[in-house]
Amino acid sequence: MVRFRLRKLSIDYLFAYCVLIVCSAIVLPSGSWAAEPDVTPATEPAAEESPSPQGPLLTAQMIRIEGMITPLSGAIWLRKFDEAVAKNPDMIILHIDSPGGYLSTTMELIDRLQKTKDIQTVAYIDNEAISGAALTALATDRIVIASSARFGDAGAIVAGSDSAFRYVDAKARSVFVAQVRAIAEASGRSPALAEAMVDKDVTVFEGTHKTDGKRAFFTTDEWESIPDSDEWTKGKPVFEAKENRFLTLNGRRAVELGVANDAAEDLDELATLLDIESPIPTIRPDRWDAAVVVLNHPLVTALLLIVGFGALLFELSAPGIGIGAFLSTLCFTTFFWSRFLGGTSGWLEVLLFVLGLTFIGLEFFVIPGFGIAGVGGIAMLLVSLVMASQHFFIPENSFDWQHLGVSVGTVVMSLLACAVLGIFMLTYSENMPGPLGRFALKPPSAEDLSVASIAASTPEAPGWSIVQVGDLGQSVSALRPSGKAQFGEQFVDVVTEGDFIDPDQSLKIIKKSGTRVVVRSV
């Protein structure tokens, strides 16, 4: 019995000892308390698990800036830029192929780029970046350009009263030069070369530091004013930055002068250079952007205004139907929505439009006479529509005047077309079916005449059944356009053709349709 227990105890100890040895073999080499360090060479699988020297690919979003820079296209690009920022990539690439455009819109793009701090911005130019497009590229952190691309020529010009292009005056040019130099300096590029892009009268020299060989570029005025000019060796002027020409570079030359950082001939090469995936994810304009472009066209704008005002007139002439109010609200909402997304409208224009409609409504139904409220309401209505169609308030050049002419002409022609439509409806709507037939009163039918004659033969017949077409009377209350009038001893609710008539004015009945009596001032 004792031998059996000892044998069993020995087996238990032997099993525990084996478990201890196995655990020690697993834990000791990696434990910090091991007696001796593990000097076994790393195996092949361990080498495969080590990360690659380049690391993972960076994330990027690309936006294409193509064609003229206008307030409309600029608003679309700014929305796409915000959409790219919301995805929080490592970098945002602006694929630029543009001849430039509006300076105000360009400065908005530059301001947005300079406020983007946590995301690297890259400009890629494979064809051209001229004028405002070149300035936009200067504001990015990195410029990559194709060797045959064109870059620069950013002089500010305005159109005179004769529509001929002229350079801005010296005062405006000095302010513009200071802005451009600040943009270049903020992005680590030569302010002198940037100045040569916008000032055709400046000459740029290349200078080399005598001690460390550092290369820099100076304008003539800068060279004469630097305190340590004796420590620099003045080189030859930059060939492309001579007098009477704006600095314009090809891609190869832009890289040589340090205006651009790198060269890439296509998007695949760009992706390899930036260590990002190819094809590069691109944020493109969607169907809503396309709709905004279409809705901002003058012809489409005129159509929206004609339908909107026509529907409003229809609703006022036939209240209670609701179709006119719905169509009018839809048209004007679409108009201001397209202007909001197009970058030319804000809440001020919407507020002016609503106030204009409110004052016109007060003039129609509350305030007697046609005075300040009506005129002011119409003025606010027109001003709001014109302001919502342009990016400026006071024209500064011939382009602005031309744009103002298009905006005013579109609104005025829309109102005239609406007036013609209203006259047509009043004249020919008697035979139109459905709600359109209520735009103007129809002549009384035989049944209406029989009802009227029966009512006239009965005691205490209502006034509308007694009076007849051609009767003369007098307005008792103001007719706007409905009110009360007296014909002989009968007081009748009447309505005009749309005119406002003050009290105590002579009237004549021109139409009857059931209980509706239409009068005209005589």
All domains of the chain in start order, with CATH: 62-202+243-283 (3.90.226.10), 287-346+388-438 (no CATH), 446-521 (2.40.50.140)
- 69: pLDDT strictly greater than 70: yes
How does residue 419 score in pLDDT terms, banded at 50, 70 and 90? confident
- CB-CB contact of 520 with 496 (8 Å): yes
What is the rounded average pLDDT of the residues 319-323?
Answer: 66
> How confident is the model at residue 76, as a pLDDT?
92
First to last CA, the chain: 141
Q: Whole-angstrom Cα distance, residue 315 to residue 425? A: 13
- Render pLDDT for 322-358 as a digit per residue (tens, 0 to 9): 788 889 899 999 999 999 888 888 899 999 999 998 9
Q: Tell me which residue of 285, 286, 255, 249 sits closest to 154, measured CA to CA.
A: 249
How does residue 107 score in pLDDT terms, banded at 50, 70 and 90? very high
Mean pLDDT of the chain: 80
How does residue 230 score in pLDDT terms, banded at 50, 70 and 90? confident
> How confident is the model at residue 398, as a pLDDT?
67
Residue 80, CA distances (Å) to 92, 341, 400 in order: 11, 12, 27
Q: What is the Rg, in whole angstroms, of the alpha carbon atoms belonging to the chain?
A: 40
What is the rounded average pLDDT of the residues 391-396?
Answer: 77
> How confident is the model at residue 445, as a pLDDT?
55
How does residue 30 score in pLDDT terms, banded at 50, 70 and 90? very low
- Render pLDDT for 177-229 as a digit per residue (tens, 0 to 9): 999 999 999 999 999 999 999 998 888 988 888 888 888 999 888 888 877 77
Find all residues with CB under 8 Å of 281, minimum gap 6, and list them: 60, 61, 62
- 282: pLDDT strictly greater than 90: yes
What is the rounded average pLDDT of the residues 27-49?
Answer: 37
What is the rounded average pLDDT of the residues 385-390?
Answer: 90
> How confident is the model at residue 436, as a pLDDT?
53
Find all residues with CB under 8 Å of 363, minimum gap 6, and list them: 370, 371, 373, 374, 377
Residue with tokens 């340590």: 228
Q: Whole-angstrom Cα distance, residue 391 to residue 103? A: 12
Tell me how long the chain is.
522
- 460: pLDDT strictly greater than 70: no
- CB-CB contact of 154 with 163 (8 Å): no
How does residue 12 score in pLDDT terms, banded at 50, 70 and 90? very low
Strand-pair partners of 276 = 58
> How confident is the model at residue 489, as a pLDDT?
83
- 38: pLDDT strictly greater than 70: no
Q: Tell me which residue of 143, 162, 141 sits closest to 151, measured CA to CA.
A: 143
